[in-house]
A and B are shown apart, each in its own frame.
Chain A
């Protein structure tokens, strides 16, 4: 089983709709999760961190974490064409001496927001 699984897409949604991106992970010990957005040809940008079960909202973005099901999702409300990008899910897979962690990345879900 892969450590992180995401539907590669593309996921197409009309402008103004809710985009739902999903991620499952295999490491039951993961305590925090990160969502990155990557525009074509650019480096990943951290857009959401979630550390506990439940929902976390930040503007149009909501991250949902269910540790029992090993499932994390990202909802984007009122989707805009500028949201068109690849979204990467990244749970930590190990703590480092002195602090910090290693992340493992899914292959990402490509989102297309259509006019």
Chain B
């Protein structure tokens, strides 16, 4: 079965510090991978998605970047965190149900607090 991991689970970082969040998926190959952010009391915002190694699409211009160095690894980074980067960061992957239908599953998330 497929499993998605995220770490760390929680993180407290000062403003201006760098960030690296990691997501890995087990039990599947060539998945579509996604990074979402959920700010306190708000909805899920798609930040980045990737359809393959080295292929990154950005949905919202901001202080963050993403990379996919391996097939089942997705990394979210920042060089200098802002207070507004605080939130619940979720990694997700697409599982094919049929040839054209997919379902999306989320990892456990990383709760980031920028102080």
A residues near B (Cβ < 8 Å) are: 32, 34, 36, 41-46, 49, 51, 88, 90, 96-108
Chain B residues, CB < 8 A from A105: 43-44
Q: List 26 A-B contacts (CB under 8 A).
A: A36-B106, A42-B109, A43-B106, A43-B108, A46-B104, A46-B105, A49-B97, A49-B101, A49-B103, A51-B101, A96-B32, A96-B49, A96-B51, A98-B32, A99-B32, A99-B94, A99-B96, A99-B100, A100-B102, A101-B102, A101-B104, A102-B49, A102-B59, A104-B46, A105-B43, A105-B44
Chain B residues, CB < 8 A from A101: 94, 102, 104
Given contacts A34-B103, A49-B97, contact A100 B43 (CB under 8 A): no
Q: How far is the CA of A62 from the CA of B109 in the complex (A)?
A: 28
Q: Interface of chain B, helix or strand or loop or mixed?
A: strand
Chain B residues, CB < 8 A from A45: 106
Contact string, B28-41, partner A, CB cutoff 8 A, digits 1/0? 00101010000000
Q: How far is the CA of A42 from the CA of B111 in the complex (A)?
A: 10
A32/B101 in contact, CB under 8 A: yes
Given contacts A96-B49, A98-B52, contact A43 B90 (CB under 8 A): yes
Contact string, B63-99, partner A, CB cutoff 8 A, digits 1/0? 0000000000000000000000000101000101101
Q: Interface of chain A, helix or strand or loop or mixed?
A: loop
Number of interface residues of B (CB under 8 A): 28
Chain A residues, CB < 8 A from B94: 96, 99-101
B104/A34 in contact, CB under 8 A: yes
CB B28 to nearest CB in A, in angstroms, measures: 12
CB B7 to nearest CB in A, in angstroms, measures: 13
A103/B107 in contact, CB under 8 A: no
Chain A residues, CB < 8 A from B103: 34, 46, 49
Q: How far is the CA of A97 from the CA of B94 in the complex (A)?
A: 13
